[in-house]
Structure 1
Amino acid sequence: MLALSAMVMADNATRHHVHSARPKARTQPERPPRRRRTTMRELTATALHRLAHRLEPHGVSPEATTS
């Protein structure tokens, strides 16, 4: 008798679990993907400008480097 009631309880618990996620349940809509603030072209240009300024810094006079 105990095994029969355990089977019924297990069947009810399984049915409740399976039917808890219904196909017509409300869901939150997915957020649209975040837009990049800058394009890949702008990022590449910025990186190249930084590299150029490290290799050949601007604003340094030739007299200051020879002293």
Structure 2
Amino acid sequence: MTFDPIAADLAVRAARATAGSARPDAPVVPDPEPRAPRAAGTRLRVAATLHGLARWVEPAPRCLPG
């Protein structure tokens, strides 16, 4: 295995960034706003169809004698 100075530099920078993010004066980045669902109606129709198909292919319970 050879020493890769680029990988070592990247590792040091990543470690410093991770350690620096826990500081009290670290910048706060707000969470992005959630997107509105684009295919809510289609998703509901597909889910209803799949549920109906699952009920149709589910085996019927067998009655045990006795």
TM-score by length of 2: 0.31
Q: Pick the structure with greater CA Rg.
A: 1
Larger relative contact order (Cα-Cα within 8 Å, sequence gap ≥ 6): 2
TM-score by length of 1: 0.31
